[in-house]
Homo-oligomer: A and B are copies of this chain.
Amino acid sequence: MTADAPFQPETPALVLDEAVALANIARFQAHCDRLGLKSRPHIKTHKLPRFAKAQIEAGARGITCQKIGEAEVMADAGIDDILITFNILGEAKLARLKALAGRIARLAVVADSQTTVDGLAAAFADGAATLHVMVECDTGAGRCGVQTPEEAADLAARIAAAPGLVFAGLMTYPAPGKAGNVERFMGEALGLLAARGIECPEISSGGSPDMWHAGKAEGGSRNLVTEYRAGTYIYNDRSLVERGACALDDCALTVHATVVSRPTPTRAVLDAGSKALSSDLLGLTGHGTIIDHPDAHIAALSEEHAVVDIPAGSLAVGDRVRIVPNHCCVVTNLFDSAWLLGADGSVQQIDIAARGRMT
């Protein structure tokens, strides 16, 4: 993180350090390039066309979104290769999906059930637009995804047989630290697909916690994954610092707050609570790291206050602090706008364009 610019926004404020974000983009893209791994960053973290474009300019093949609304904002900004890693269901959403597919170069989604595939197939049956569909596979994270390579192959066959749909490969969000599961699942699925004569153009994995292992099998050789979706890496956060995936100086997103109360010698209260930092713990204790105050511990949040345990004597009412939150992706989602500290030294307030696009 660069030195604090001499600006004092009203707090709580979301502050983005562009130089650090661009360095994070470049570093992970170089990792992917070295391994011949395609990169498809997840924009859920930043929700900003500006940074989506920077990711593509750095070498990403396209972007990942979680919501059609996010993808619509990115398409409006000129991004033309988008994967939505979500099962899209229902008439209204399918109509929006089809409209979106008609106006960008390549739109892909994932599916993990016949119901989802049948809905997509019906919506795209007239051939007016093409939709790429990946099969989502549960390789141990316990969320969405088909449970076995056999199910993956069956669903791929159903997609491949549907006019208007193109089978685009296998996708997973692995449980952190379980890349071995991905190899076993995908290896078996590839065999089953080959036996049926179905080509698998891509195997897409993701997650910033394991990003530096992306593309590598145990022992360091190239693994089966061909595309990687990382999101958090652009900003980093306390959870990634604690996991050893980055340093505190690599965190591009901070929340600036003001000490509004010092009720006791060892308690300070900040004007940033769960409505600014979120309650996400991600397995951590406490609610963020206060830069330059390593002895301070954010012990509790209420909606608009953070209660900080501090050594006697430090921090006074009116002092400003910078917080690296536990989980940057949910913090972006809480602010309508951010202060962008430009790599050129400029400071400007920018809208979080895709924030609030919940559907």
Contact = CB atoms under 8 A, between A and B. Distances in A.
Interface string A127-163: 0000000000010001111110000000000000000
A281 interface: yes
A274 B359 contact: no
Interface in A143-199: 143-147
A14 to B, nearest CB: 9
A267 B143 CA distance: 8
Nearest to A142: B307
The CB with the most chain B CB atoms within 10 A, among A112, A144, A147, is that of A144
A304 interface: yes
A90 B258 contact: yes
A184 to B, nearest CB: 18
A106 interface: no
Interface in A88-116: 89-90, 92-93, 112-113, 115-116
Given A116-B261, A335-B358, 20 more contacts: A10-B359, A13-B359, A86-B304, A112-B261, A115-B316, A115-B317, A115-B318, A116-B260, A116-B317, A142-B300, A144-B263, A144-B305, A145-B263, A274-B280, A274-B330, A275-B333, A275-B358, A279-B330, A333-B334, A334-B334
